[in-house]
Chains A and B, each alone.
Chain A
């Protein structure tokens, strides 16, 4: 890394917040897509806006690429460092500045952990709705960058739907604010929040977010249904949707995912497929909906139905689902998670095709998905110590994505494109559309320094290595449950 640049960084950061030694850089070499590892030139640990702004301006001046990093839980290589670039780690900007129960908003710094917002809002009977499974570690800045979702976004939307205002520093160092404290967000004029959220760190760094909080639902009613056949579970979803009910969450797990969940003590029925449906809202309405839902599910061919009668039982139903990813990690040394979307009515078809593909590849695939919105999460199991295994798994993952696009869906529902899926962008977008996105990126970041090499196809390829645990997990800094 350029000496004068590092010296200039030394003018912003004390030595203990400017990391340049190999051993210090190690934990930042990858995100949760551990197949990709790159050593950054340096890592800085800002503690306030002013430091971030000064850093971005310095990067712009020196044309040094930078990556903003929250907790590094990206599953698409979004926070993978750039070789010889700067990683700006935002975890220390973790202040919740305002919880305003009257206006139902929170104002937070980007390094705040998702779950901490709900915890802070809880005494007021409020919560922050988007709930990625990684919510106990991932940051709101990372959520913003990927427009992260969770099991409950069918009804209340993804991250973007919950952001009302933001303050950002663009990649060329310009500062801007948009949106407001109104629940109407941008309200008048173009929706800049909508544009920034999901831009995967390619426009700049979010410094402050104004978020919408929701009242905690009065009542949850959660049903777990076990089926002998994955197709039947899919049909049950169609029936639920056709009935006019609007559940907060509809999730399906297949046999292998169920087996994985057993390793964390989920205690699920022994089944080919499990369906979880959750209703939430005002108690009398939910009870009435629940009666309708039970009836529907009883007629759907499920051989066992469990309903949670208490918060405890509800937590038990969700435990296996929420820790499915890490549980799969116990079944197999390595795995890749995919995140494609298909129209809901084509879920059955998609699953059949995945089944055929995995046989052809001779690989195991566990399926966990947000069935309500057609968002698949196939987990492709492999052993990175075997020659060529990773490449084979990646090839299968690629076929799955191509299938999703062909069925009219998307290559990513919530994990983002990052490094991993950038080569699939042309499958999903026309040349004209990609050109416009690229032009937009260049208009906002003329030197293309913000998260260079992500999202757009054809960037320099980082080294592919063996999988394994996330470096921070290996060090015991983070865990997934």
Chain B
């Protein structure tokens, strides 16, 4: 059982190839034929200073614990980690996965401040800082967001956290077509309404825009009314609904069952083409149509579709040779970082 950075270093030193795994909540990321470095026992909150808006945790810590500790102080991780019930914080950062609330302030990259890492040469060191602002040196911490454990192993992470708001209200607007819903999302996304989340849900006939507002209880009802009026007059939805049990509708991958599940990064302009190509698959778009989650039966089919559209996806669940779907990711800058941090190519 790995419970310290030294053990991580020893593990790297003792192996020619290895693969890092947190809590394994995204099985498609771990279909690798290499010894597994299991990070799930390297856990615990190292330092939490609510006053500083900073939190330092070991990488294997379950999100559940992190989220609960923050909630106790009225704070949260604004990047809204995906799979909060089953994932570890390190795995979330390494795979760059956020839920719908990422809409308000940004993604994982916007809230990581520093990390302790072990690189492919078994060296351990810290990168970045522990204060909310720091411009010294190269920002390797950000680089490692989304790096899938292929460049270095995250053992500890420091985040910027924010105060959370006490109350939420959610609304659903129904449109006759997805194109109309997308148009409406453009109008909403550049309006002055500060939404906590804005998802697009394509349906059998038409599409739904699902929006969430958060704030003080006293002002929320009036804000919801104002927002609803704005959307109704500017975008003419067929139907408007205020959702009562609103929490349950924000698990953005909860309903996406199927053998495969993937995240897709897209520009909203590409949404209609993508959606037409994956018609039949279960899908949902978060971040006003800038991120897609797609469930389907065959990952290689999805990979082909994405490649054809010049898009990239990350397979979270399902069988595939590589979890990286679609357009190739090779990049000369990334290759040079790899040659520096993991010259022997141990981390797979």
Q: Using CB atoms and an 8 Å cutoff, list the residues of chain A in contact with chain B.
A: 101-104, 124-126, 146-149, 153-158, 160-161, 168, 170, 174, 176, 178, 180-199, 203, 215-218, 238, 241-242, 244-246, 281-282, 284-285, 287-289, 339, 341-345, 370, 373-375, 408-417, 421, 425, 428-430, 432-433, 436-437, 439-441, 443-444, 455
Closest to A404 in B: B131
Q: How far is the CA of A146 from the CA of B249 in the complex (A)?
A: 40
Known contacts A188-B313, A244-B74, A288-B218; A412/B132 CB under 8 A: no
For B137, the chain A residues whose CB sits under 8 A away are 198, 417, 425, 428-429, 433, 437, 455
Q: Which of A146, A161, A242, A429 contacts B110 (CB 8 A)?
A: A161
Q: Which of A101, A153, A157, A244 contacts B190 (CB 8 A)?
A: A101
Q: How far is the CA of A241 from the CA of B119 in the complex (A)?
A: 37
Question: Is B96 positioned at the interface, with any CB of A under 8 Å from its CB?
Answer: yes
Interface SS majority for chain B:
mixed
For B105, the chain A residues whose CB sits under 8 A away are 155-156
A-B contact count (CB 8 A): 271
Say how far B280's CB is from chain A's closest CB, in angstroms: 23
Q: How far is the CA of A198 from the CA of B136 in the complex (A)?
A: 8
Closest to A177 in B: B331
| A282-B192 in contact (CB<8A) | yes
Q: Which parts of B104-143 form the interface with A (CB within 8 Å)?
A: 105-107, 109-110, 119, 123-127, 129-143
| B190-A284 in contact (CB<8A) | no
Question: Is B247 positioned at the interface, with any CB of A under 8 Å from its CB?
Answer: no
Closest to B287 in A: A183
Q: How far is the CA of A439 from the CA of B152 in the complex (A)?
A: 15
Q: How far is the CA of A436 from the CA of B313 in the complex (A)?
A: 30
Known contacts A194-B109, A288-B218, A433-B126; A103/B268 CB under 8 A: yes
Closest to B327 in A: A188
| B135-A416 in contact (CB<8A) | yes
Known contacts A104-B189, A343-B52; A409/B131 CB under 8 A: yes
Known contacts A191-B109, A282-B194, A433-B127; A176/B268 CB under 8 A: no
| B216-A288 in contact (CB<8A) | yes
**5 contacting pairs across A/B (C-beta < 8 A):** A147-B135, A198-B138, A238-B51, A374-B131, A408-B131
Q: How far is the CA of A188 from the CA of B326 in the complex (A)?
A: 11
Question: Is B219 positioned at the interface, with any CB of A under 8 Å from its CB?
Answer: yes
Closest to B218 in A: A288
Stretch at the interface among B168-176, B201-209, B250-258, B332-340: B332-340
Q: How far is the CA of A148 from the CA of B312 in the complex (A)?
A: 30
Closest to B140 in A: A195
Q: How far is the CA of A142 from the CA of B49 in the complex (A)?
A: 33
| A409-B129 in contact (CB<8A) | yes
For B74, the chain A residues whose CB sits under 8 A away are 244
Question: Is B290 positioned at the interface, with any CB of A under 8 Å from its CB?
Answer: yes
Q: Which of B51, B136, B219, B290 contacts A242 (CB 8 A)?
A: B51
Closest to A216 in B: B192
| A149-B133 in contact (CB<8A) | yes
| B336-A440 in contact (CB<8A) | yes
For A282, the chain B residues whose CB sits under 8 A away are 192-194, 215, 223
Q: Which of B124, B133, B138, B148 contacts A375 (CB 8 A)?
A: B133
Q: Which of A168, A184, A414 contacts B135 (CB 8 A)?
A: A414
Known contacts A176-B331, A188-B263, A197-B139; A157/B49 CB under 8 A: no
Chain B CB count within 10 A is highest, among A181, A187, A410, for A187
Q: How far is the CA of A182 from the CA of B131 in the complex (A)?
A: 28
Chain B CB count within 10 A is highest, among A185, A238, A411, for A185
For B189, the chain A residues whose CB sits under 8 A away are 104, 215
Say how far A256's CB is from chain B's closest CB, in angstroms: 23
| A195-B216 in contact (CB<8A) | no
Nearest 4 pairs between A and B by C-beta? A194-B142, A187-B265, A181-B267, A218-B192
For A155, the chain B residues whose CB sits under 8 A away are 105
For B268, the chain A residues whose CB sits under 8 A away are 102-103, 182
Closest to B222 in A: A284
| A184-B329 in contact (CB<8A) | no
